[in-house]
Amino acid sequence: MAIKKLNVSSSTQTESLPISKPESRLYMSFIYVAFISLFIGGLMGLLQVFVRSGRFTLPWGIDYYQVLTVHGVILGLVLTTYFIIGFHFSLMGKTVGISDKQRKVAWLAFWVMVIGTVMTAVTILLGKASVLYTFYAPLKAHPVFYIGLALVVVGSWVAGFVNWRQVYLWKKAHPGEKTPLLAFMVTINTLLWFIASLGVAATVLIQFIPWSLGYAETINVLVSRTLFWYFGHPLVYFWLLPAYMAWYAVIPKIIGGKIFSDSLARMSFVLFLFFSIPVGFHHQLVEPGIDATWKFIQVVLTFMVAIPSLMTAFSMFATFEITGRRKGFGGLFGWFKHLPWKDVRFFAPFVGMLAFIPGGAGGLINASHQMNAVIHNTIWVTGHFHLTVATTVMLTFFGISYWLIPHLTGRTLTKKINKLGIIQTIVWTIGMTIMSGAMHIQGLLGAPRRSSYSEYGGGEQVTEWIGYQMAQAIGGTILFIGIILMVYIFVKLAFFAPKGEEEFPIAEEEEDAEPTPKWFENWKLWIGITVALILFAYTIPFVDIIQNSPPGSVPFDWPIGNN
Ligand code: HEM
Ligand SMILES: [Cu+2]
């Protein structure tokens, strides 16, 4: 089938293709899985804060680490990946179109991912894979856990290949035109995901599967952790970039403005591609066996993400101010007061942006070797990523859902749901401020993460933590109410809201914007620089790790001692 034609209005591209019913069904399938995950994962979160408060024990012999594995895997890996792929596909369908054949391949991707997810979920639920979402060796899970994970990754690759093919065919049909901004951004994010997940695929296929099946007696722990974090850090940018897509290209439309600069948006995405991969060592700062010089080099590269991050912050506030002033709201802050605070499509992502201020600042602390020594493996870290992924990213994904779901299901966002959405955002913010705040402080006082309630033999330091553990339980409970509200809103928008047409908001560029330079489409250059940076940051230390490895480790089954 031919690709649908873009409606190109004279000077600026208004990117808008109709989304057909079969397309909607595909995109929504990913989003259903995401919201089911939100509910299950949230429930586990609630159990965790209860257990950590010391006032509650899990019934029926359920193990804390089993619950925590479900929570981490289903929220950190399943919810995010499915929502992002569904969102990516929607953006591509809207801007460059999808053919019938591509849609079929996309379904294949979906089902491969679902089979993988079910395999992984079943092993965790049977208590055969309580290894947490980082599955650090030498903890050993049932082989099916790893095989399932590998299938999820392979499925996600297929989805990415479809996206690349969509752009390629669009380019062929539109010679000389620049790729629509959102399609460009999706291409960057799928590239980032593909290059990064090669690392986790390698460790799972080459190390974990043979070892868990008993074909290999031992595993090289440091190699596995290094390959995991080669993937684990870019993973957080894979979560964040879809939120940035909405900030750059959707929010301006919602507030009645235009995109501040198409070139700046593209440049920041290219920089994220460069600087999110060659930096995994900042998660391994206390790891013996990695040369300090290379840790230092990767930390310097880590700090380079400040550039695109600040570019993003600058351009968001520029859009807010220009739009407000154009509407005639003068004064120093008049434009700010008149932002559409009552529109949840704006309000939720805006709160997400605010959360990124403390979230980003905490990230700078985590990535600094000396300060990392203070907070490493404490519950501070958990507080940090509940601000970043569980607030900045989540609230933006919710903000997207308020228009994307009704757009796909042929319904509308009613005033009532909008209001409920505002309440949801406030509940989330209050719950998270309390829970994450308590985690940050408790972490500074030395409390470990990934630990159920313990008195640690009545140690004196533990008494300092107890109040914060209670606060964490209160915040977590409020947060869980936020999850219930969001799931209710999801069900409403997907099945019960009044039929109608909901806008798919995509902003245009400023009329007087400089044309976007042609070299932005030089994919060979971007991939070349990315690969060169990775080889620079990893080759020498990796060879060093392999050559100077201590003996590998035999498997440890969970609970420890069962091997
Ligand atoms: C009701 C809402 C939530 C509550 C009460 C909650 C609570 C918690 C707690 C207490 C921990 C740490 C447990 C420990 O280290 O012993 C944790 C870990 C974690 N949470 Fe949440 N959380 C919630 C929502 C979320 C969301 C929405 C996400 C992601 C989108 C998320 C992602 C994670 C991840 C990745 C971990 C790390 C698991 C690990 O260390 O293996 N959480 N959560
Ligand atoms: Cu990182």
Whole-number pLDDT of residue 477: 95
Whole-number pLDDT of residue 1: 39
The verdict on whether 385 is a catalytic residue reads yes
For the beta carbon of residue 259, count every other beta carbon within 10 angstroms: 23
Minimum CA distance residue for ligand 1 atom 26: 390
Q: What are 362-378's pLDDT values in tens digits? A: 999 998 989 998 999 99
Whole-number pLDDT of residue 12: 40
Burial class (CB in 10 A: 0-12, 13-18, 19+), 560: exposed
The verdict on whether 407 is a catalytic residue reads no
Is 275 within the bounds of a domain? yes
Whole-number pLDDT of residue 483: 97
The verdict on whether 103 is a catalytic residue reads no
Band of residue 385 on the pLDDT scale cut at 50, 70, 90? very high
Q: What are 444-471's pLDDT values in tens digits? A: 998 999 988 778 888 888 888 888 989 9
Minimum CA distance residue for ligand 1 atom 13: 450
Whole-number pLDDT of residue 3: 46
Q: Which ligand has its closest atom nearest to the C-alpha of 396?
A: 1
Is 418 within the bounds of a domain? yes
- Of the listed ranges 104-108, 458-462, 497-501, the least confidently predicted one is 458-462
For residue 81, is pLDDT > 90? yes
Q: List CB contacts of 173: < 8 A, sequence separation 6 or more.
A: 3, 5
Is 518 within the bounds of a domain? no
Q: List CB contacts of 480: < 8 A, sequence separation 6 or more.
A: 42, 43, 45, 46, 431
Whole-number pLDDT of residue 558: 61
Minimum CA distance residue for ligand 1 atom 23: 45
Host domain of residue 340: 17-506+529-560
For residue 563, is pLDDT > 70? no
Band of residue 523 on the pLDDT scale cut at 50, 70, 90? confident
pLDDT mean over 320-349: 84
382 CA from centroid of ligand 1 (Å): 7
Q: Does the beta carbon of 479 lie inside 6 Å of ligand 1?
A: yes
Q: What DSSP string describes 169-229? A: HHHHHSTTPPPPHHHHHHHHHHHHHHHHHHHHHHIIIIIIHHHHTTSSS-B-HHHHHHHHH
Q: What is the residue type of 305?
A: V
277 CA from centroid of ligand 2 (Å): 9
Is 523 within the bounds of a domain? no
The verdict on whether 449 is a catalytic residue reads yes
Q: Does the beta carbon of 382 lie inside 6 Å of ligand 1?
A: yes
Band of residue 331 on the pLDDT scale cut at 50, 70, 90? confident
Whole-number pLDDT of residue 8: 40
Q: How many domains does the chain have?
A: 1
Whole-number pLDDT of residue 15: 53
CATH number where 70 lies = 1.20.210.10
Nearest to 400 by CA among 267, 241, 259, 270: 241
| Cα–Cα distance measured from residue 330 to residue 529, given in angstroms and rounded to the nearest whole number | 44
| Cα–Cα distance measured from residue 78 to residue 34, given in angstroms and rounded to the nearest whole number | 7
Ligand 1 atom at minimum distance from 475 CA: 5
Q: List CB contacts of 509: < 8 A, sequence separation 6 or more.
A: 12, 13, 258, 259, 261, 262
Q: Does the beta carbon of 113 lie inside 6 Å of ligand 1?
A: no
The verdict on whether 369 is a catalytic residue reads no
Minimum CA distance residue for ligand 1 atom 27: 390
Q: What are 228-257's pLDDT values in tens digits? A: 999 999 999 999 999 999 999 999 999 888
Residues in the chain: 563
Q: Does the beta carbon of 449 lie inside 6 Å of ligand 1?
A: yes
For residue 25, is pLDDT > 80? yes
Identify the active-site residue in 161, 449, 453, 556: 449
Is 12 within the bounds of a domain? no
Nearest to 494 by CA among 75, 77, 29, 16: 29
For residue 561, is pLDDT > 60? no
| Cα–Cα distance measured from residue 85 to residue 100, given in angstroms and rounded to the nearest whole number | 18
Whole-number pLDDT of residue 145: 94
The verdict on whether 142 is a catalytic residue reads no
273 CA from centroid of ligand 2 (Å): 14
Q: Does the beta carbon of 48 lie inside 6 Å of ligand 1?
A: yes
| Cα–Cα distance measured from residue 96 to residue 169, given in angstroms and rounded to the nearest whole number | 9
Identify the active-site residue in 82, 260, 385, 480: 385
Q: Does the beta carbon of 76 lie inside 6 Å of ligand 1?
A: yes
Is 97 within the bounds of a domain? yes
Q: What are 45-64's pLDDT values in tens digits? A: 999 988 888 787 878 878 89
Nearest to 38 by CA among 495, 486, 493: 486
79 CA from centroid of ligand 2 (Å): 19
pLDDT above 70: percentage of residues in the chain = 96
Ligand 1 atom at minimum distance from 80 CA: 30
Ligand 1 atom at minimum distance from 133 CA: 41
| Cα–Cα distance measured from residue 228 to residue 530, given in angstroms and rounded to the nearest whole number | 18
Whether the Cβ atoms of residue 69 and residue 130 lie closer than 8 Å to each other: yes
Identify the active-site residue in 384, 407, 411, 440: 384
For the beta carbon of residue 53, count every other beta carbon within 10 angstroms: 18
Residue with tokens 């299938």: 151
Q: What are 196-235's pLDDT values in tens digits? A: 999 999 999 999 999 999 898 889 999 999 999 999 999 9
283 CA from centroid of ligand 2 (Å): 6
Q: Does the beta carbon of 394 lie inside 6 Å of ligand 1?
A: yes
pLDDT mean over 427-432: 96
| Cα–Cα distance measured from residue 112 to residue 158, given in angstroms and rounded to the nearest whole number | 9
Residue with tokens 């002033």: 325
pTM summary value: 0.93
> Residue 62 carries which DSSP code?
-
For residue 7, is pLDDT > 60? no
The verdict on whether 450 is a catalytic residue reads yes
Is 512 within the bounds of a domain? no
Whole-number pLDDT of residue 330: 75
477 CA from centroid of ligand 2 (Å): 28
Band of residue 17 on the pLDDT scale cut at 50, 70, 90? confident
Q: Does the beta carbon of 530 lie inside 6 Å of ligand 1?
A: no
Q: Does the beta carbon of 68 lie inside 6 Å of ligand 1?
A: yes
Q: What is the CA radius of gyration of the chain?
A: 23
Is 511 within the bounds of a domain? no
The per-residue pLDDT of the chain, averaged, comes to: 89
Nearest to 154 by CA among 183, 112, 125: 112
Ligand 1 atom at minimum distance from 64 CA: 16
Q: Sign of torsion, CA 91 94 99 104?
A: positive
Nearest to 88 by CA among 106, 74, 72, 105: 106
